[in-house]
Structure 1
Amino acid sequence: MLFVFTASSAFGTEVLFVVGGKAIKAGDQTIKKHLENRGFDVVVKNDKLVKTEDARGKSLVLLSESARSKEVNTKFRDVTVPVICSEPYLFHDLGMTGETKKFDFGRKSRQKEMAIVNPAHPLAASLSDNVQVSTKSFFMGWGVPGKNAIPVAALKKDPEKSTIFAYEAGTEMPGNVAPARRVGLFLFRGTAKSFTPDAWSLFNAVVDWSIEEPPDSVLKAELKTEEAPVLPPPGR
């Protein structure tokens, strides 16, 4: 079933942020604060309680790695709102990769850097080569996307495993046709607390590309925290 929401909802300023646990974790709180500093209104929902209909009127759905795949499952598979997924065990539920864990998707431990494989794309935030995204080693999520995906970044020593990849709306994915833009993102729980400026640039680029046209309130938002630099989208 395709859940069709109006065009106006796709260009609003609200983000649905789906997280795990009874209380929002420190890493998720950092992401929430960063988005708010950019001008977004962030609505946080627990993975078990969130419903498909909660995406209505939102500009973006952001699925945290802390969200449990068994709880979220296919709730946002067919929504016509852009989705950024940081939980690799949800990639298959969204139709973004195949279904075999540790082959089609997974996590790699003790990572600080990733390789930019598509530096010309706006999702690469004008970065190239190997990029350090964290000051501390962490688990990095990855997926093996379909042939129609846009590969952006990959594990430093395994270019077949994408750490940032995307699909345009209407693109055939391994398990679905993308109802709106879809992005797989490496972000592991807690990692945002040790993000480098380059990591924040990539995160901003992913958000801005996903919603296609950031609202003026986002583009004009002033920087409020040192750890979360706000950069304008490429070309603006």
Structure 2
Amino acid sequence: MGQYIMKSAYNVLRDNSMDANVGNKKSFWTRLWHLKILLKVKHFMWRVICDCLPTKDRLLSKWVEVDSKCPVCNLIDETSLHALGFCPVAALCCQLQGVRFDSAAINNTTDWVQEIYQHSGRSEVNKIFMIALMIWNNRNDVVWKQKGRGAKSSCRQGCVNPEMAEAIGIREALSWVKEHNWPQVVVESDCLGAIQANSCSSISLSYLGRIIDECKRLLLELKSRNATLRFVKRSANMVAHF
């Protein structure tokens, strides 16, 4: 004759809700709870595995009227797996940390975590789970605070030197910031010449000089919003060359 306790009921419900492909369910959860990582990260990953994050697909399943598209990329419907692993922004964050996933072998968040367990050491698992939480926090900033990283691209025909091309890019970026009224913006460039030209007080009558003057004017207009330019090495600016 068995004994009913809340813990045993929880274990049954938890295991029944998991993918049948998970072999040792107890070992699967034990590995998560024994990680040397912040408790909030463990709790977050528990929510990810149980698929109880308030993503668009989950909200729609509860009859909440929302747009189904991912709020970050706005390309396809948002699920937990898309938001953390396969959204272009999330995928790029992982790739920049040397983490790649085989999308063909992953159908849900349980598969995703199993893939991480099988191909990563303990420290790498900790890093990936921390990245996942930061990706989710960025997603929430986009949804609730209209914050987060933005991106814009354009194509121009012609042949110019690197300083000219970068100066035009800086001007476009500053114009974009002004258009959206964003505060506390840092525009990064890996072209030292363009950054130095914007901090130089001398006046040039060349075409490059006119572009730089426009950048300076925009920076002055954006001074109240604390917009700044900053040089970064190309090795630290991989997103721009992805």
Q: TM-score scaled by structure 1?
A: 0.22
Q: Which has the higher contact order (CA 8 A, sep 6+)?
A: 1
Structure index of larger Rg:
2
TM-score by length of 2: 0.21
Whose helix proportion is higher, 1 or 2?
2
